[in-house]
Amino acid sequence: MKLCRALRDTGRNGSRKSMWEGAWAAAPRGIPACLGKHSCQAPRRPGESSWDREHRAMLGTVLLLLALAKPACPSPAGVASRRAEALKKLLEVFGMEDPPPPPAHFKKPPQYMVDLFNTVANADGVTKNPDILEGNTVRSFLDRTHSKEMQFLFVLSSVAKTEKILTAELHLFRLWPRVTDGPKRHHFCQVSVYQVLEKENPDTPGGKKLLAARLVSLQTSGWEVFAITPAVRDWTEDESSNQGLLVTVQSLGGSPLDPPPLQFASGRDHHESKRPLLVLFTDDGRRGASLPMGGFPDLKPQAPDLPARVPVPKPAGSRSTRSLDRLRPCQRHPLSVDFEEIGWSGWIISPRGYNAFHCKGSCPFPLGENMRPTNHATVQSIINALKLSEGVSSPCCVPDKLHSINLLYFDDDENVVLKQYDDMVAGSCGCH
């Protein structure tokens, strides 16, 4: 960069001497000293003056300095292009082509999804227990009917055709029961959930299909969950078959109750925290590498980690400092990923960022147990140390355990999704 400025300054004053001195002063260290002396002159061409010869030699030297100078002068367009390419690659890691747009208005995620995220992951999104989730994706959908009647419709256009539906649940908030007069007070009622087949005439034979039915207490309020997996599988295979759901309340004998003593909150007359919710547990088929998977990272790393949050990176140190880094033993170092700096904080609900960690250091002979070497790495280290075979390098410091992270975010349709991504955090490092 200094060399670029030096050459620009030369264009202003037009001085041959300042061009030489400025380019030489900005040249990177380690360039042979003769490049700055008149002894490094080009042979004279026939009919060439001494000034022309000196100018030609100086120009060749400047071109060499330009080739050796690091970094080159980056253009704003080049920086923007490189950033866009990097973000595109990062989106591919998260299984997306484009980042979802932030919600048009402030939107609070369903409390169930927030609680599920906190159960599955820690504050940084790292998975506590990989066996908690069924599959690697949980999608939530709010009812779109806003009807007083107990009919519900959920639009599932954001579910990919390749996504495997494992479990589908209908979450309904049970309101406090109405007070009934007279001696015949019910303590339980039967709640049935139907898949609507004929939207105009659901009560006709063949107009609906029973999905779930059970007794519900009339003494309390709270969430009720019904399994409706067959209906959702039908809807994802044929989107036009999605005619919604119908919920009925009957007495223990199966007769209708009018008015029904039990009601569920709707999206029209009740707070959005109580709106009907469809929750899908799915698997998109993505799998990580074959390294051992871990849940919550062990609290006994093989070497002390640096602070989890890393400030803005400082310029590279001296050559002796970099050499010292290579001599330090293999260990884990922080690698902070900040979604706000990337520009994704508008659609990612949680976490705000995470520590991916990275592995750095040497794997010197002999490899100790603290290096967590594989048998292959041990043999390779011996062959390298004894020079038994040409071209065999020493083992490398790499992750030997990887953890998954979880993202809670708004998708393109402003539905809230919890997705688990494998192999995102280096849990520990070893010589392999």
154 and 293 Cβ atoms separated by less than 8 Å: no
User: Which residues, 6 or more positions from 252, have their beta carbon under 8 angstroms from its beta carbon?
Assistant: 186, 188, 189, 190, 215
Percent of the chain whose pLDDT exceeds 90? 34
**pLDDT range class, residue 404, cuts 50, 70, 90:** very high
Helices and strands (DSSP H and E) totals, the chain: 9, 16
Asked whether the whole model's pTM tops 0.75, one would answer no
Q: Is the per-residue pLDDT at 113 higher than 90?
A: yes
* Residue 227: burial class (beta carbons within 10 Å; 0-12, 13-18, 19+): middle
- The CA-atom distances, in angstroms, between 259 and each of 9, 161, 248, 255 are 88, 41, 12, 12
The H-or-E segment that residue 279 falls in is: strand 277-283
Of 209, 200, 250, 216, nearest to 231 (Cα)?
209
Q: Per-residue pLDDT averaged across 209-236, rounded? A: 92
**What does the mean pLDDT of the chain come to?**
77
Q: Long-range contacts made by residues 129-132, C-beta under 8 angstroms, separation at least 24?
A: 129/295, 129/296, 130/293, 130/294, 130/295, 130/404, 130/420, 131/295
pLDDT digits 0-9 by tens, 80-91: 888 888 888 888
3 and 17 Cβ atoms separated by less than 8 Å: no
By mean pLDDT, which of 67-76, 122-131, 281-290, 337-346 is the weakest?
Answer: 67-76
Q: Per-residue pLDDT averaged across 34-51, rounded? A: 52
What does the alpha-carbon distance between residue 63 and residue 61 come to, in Å, rounded to a whole number? Answer: 5
Q: Per-residue pLDDT averaged across 246-256, rounded? A: 83
| Range among 179-193, 254-268, 325-339 with highest mean pLDDT value | 325-339
What does the alpha-carbon distance between residue 327 and residue 72 come to, in Å, rounded to a whole number? Answer: 29
Residue 399: predicted pLDDT: 92
Residue 196: predicted pLDDT: 93
pLDDT digits 0-9 by tens, 117-132: 999 999 999 999 878 8
